[in-house]
Structure 1
């Protein structure tokens, strides 16, 4: 499948494990370290490598991926926050850090004080999927089934308990969340019928959906994904106000020179608005985006407020993490 090949190529990188470009004439030969706080091979890593290729061309500087997973992204994020603020150590971060601040595991630093926003990069929605023979086919049918038998329908996920809790909150249903340490086993158990459904990022499930091993029930984007999952209904169109996505952003240590920050922002904007970048992300169920540092700051503030409201409404989540 073309999509699966794309993801595999993105994970492998442009030239082995790293993305490189020769420095342009007259520009410094220093390499940019792009820290990814996730293991190699996942959807986050794949998008980061596509971005690295584009940044290398725009900056005229070599860009390489440095995977530093652990503690739900806290390890890699804190490493960047404590790095020299020269603009050559950057974080390919996500909104997961916002969730950590509120629900845990809490980072050992204040992200607002330690990380400088550069730009958004991509938004990736989540998909609720089930076995092809499942009796529900849309979010509406899933919610009705959950209301008919409260607490019986199971949803598997890898460290996404707060996201599943948010779904229960907005849909007014009680689901049985089954946490997994890794997404692979969660998906395997869904395909075999051990659990009723699974909740994961769209790029993770897309190859299995295309192969017919799983069936998408609903997607959390505001509109349908016309390029990758055109027939999958959104939760919103089914009457469930569940719009949520993983926001991928570029950040750096606080204290970078304004000129360097501006140059990085311009480079991300050029990459994110290019037809190649947008089409490659569309094929794996992601949406390219870019912003000013100020716009990113406001966006993170709004997302943080939404998670804080969930924590206020469900204080038991704060005790369990």
Structure 2
């Protein structure tokens, strides 16, 4: 990994910072604040990286874009990364953000839905590239319903709540970090099931790198990982400067909602590996299990060795998540 001294030497030598595009899984919210914080502090620039952060349209789309080399870096749900790899995409995860799956389904109890067994015949609204839609066959199999028993409706991330409230859809998928917003909106009428609570807990959002870019730019990737891991640790310690950096660049965000989100995100970031090995570290046994799950429930066009799709080599083991 490049040291700070080497990075300084790189810049003082007159070398230009490398232009790097990072595509997010969705529009920026609290879970993306560390990238904006590090950028606002000049950390990426100091590391020789001119980082452009781009809003995404779903984990599936982000994984495909990075896998095809249209973006060098991205954020995507790890299951969709495995699927993309199986389709010939070239992406490698260098850090997990959500060590626990953030996936969940929401509905209104007044609709008569009491749980997943009542989903058949109902409509689920989410974007086409939403990770929960990609992984739906696994969920359906786990809860014992037919995968083709529901009707998927294309709904933008911003329209999920209004569509649920209006009755345009019966169910929507969303990440756990938005949980408090829905509780405030719907109160006791809100129904919810977390995937991890029914035994589906694959790795969630992770930072991925295009494989060819990684092979050609290992020192640059090491610098990016170092800065990003440090930024996440800083935001865990004190999220306010991070939210300030986020909200100065992204309009329409409510501060208190973002604080609630970040508190949920800390739950998702915390597991035995991130608290004992390193913040952002993958557990090989869990990755093996995630691969077997995807291999079982989906048609991998090109089976692969799961060890080729993730690495912990760029993480500083001195930086860990605090034990809860």
Tell me the TM-score normalised to structure 1 length: 0.59
Aligned to 2:234: 274
- Which structure carries more helix by proportion? 2
Bigger CA drift: 303-312 or 151-160? Answer: 151-160
Any conservation in 2 of the 1:154–1:196 contact (CA below 8 Å)? yes
Q: Deviations over 1:199-218 (max 9, x none)?
A: 22234565343222772412
1:91 aligns with 2:74: yes
Q: Deviations over 1:47-74 (max 9, x none)?
A: 3353242365555346533427578225
Q: Per the alignment, in what secondary structure is the counterpart of residue 17 of structure 2?
A: coil
Any conservation in 2 of the 1:35–1:67 contact (CA below 8 Å)? yes
| More RCO (CA 8 Å, sep 6+) | 2
Q: Deviations over 1:263-301 (max 9, x none)?
A: 433333322333546857873132347659994787655
1:171, distance to aligned residue in structure 2 (A): 0.9
Distance 1:269 1:296, change over 3 A: farther
1:32, distance to aligned residue in structure 2 (A): 5.5
Structure 2 CA distance, aligned partners of 1:241 and 1:199? 17
Q: Per the alignment, in what secondary structure is the counterpart of residue 152 of structure 1?
A: coil
Unaligned ranges ≥5, structure 2: 1-6, 244-257, 301-324
1:32-51 matches, within 5 Å, as: 33-36=20-23, 38=25, 41-43=27-29, 47-51=31-35
Structure 1 CA distance, aligned partners of 2:76 and 2:118? 36
Distance 1:134 1:169, change over 3 A: same
Q: Per the alignment, in what secondary structure is the counterpart of residue 130 of structure 1?
A: strand
1:191, distance to aligned residue in structure 2 (A): 1.4
1:166 aligns with 2:149: no
1:142 aligns with 2:115: yes
Runs (4 or more) in structure 1 with deviation over 6 Å come to none
Aligned length: 248
Aligned to 1:219: 194
Tell me the TM-score normalised to structure 2 length: 0.59
| Structure 1 vs Structure 2 CA RMSD | 4.1
Q: Per the alignment, in what secondary structure is the counterpart of residue 254 of structure 1?
A: helix
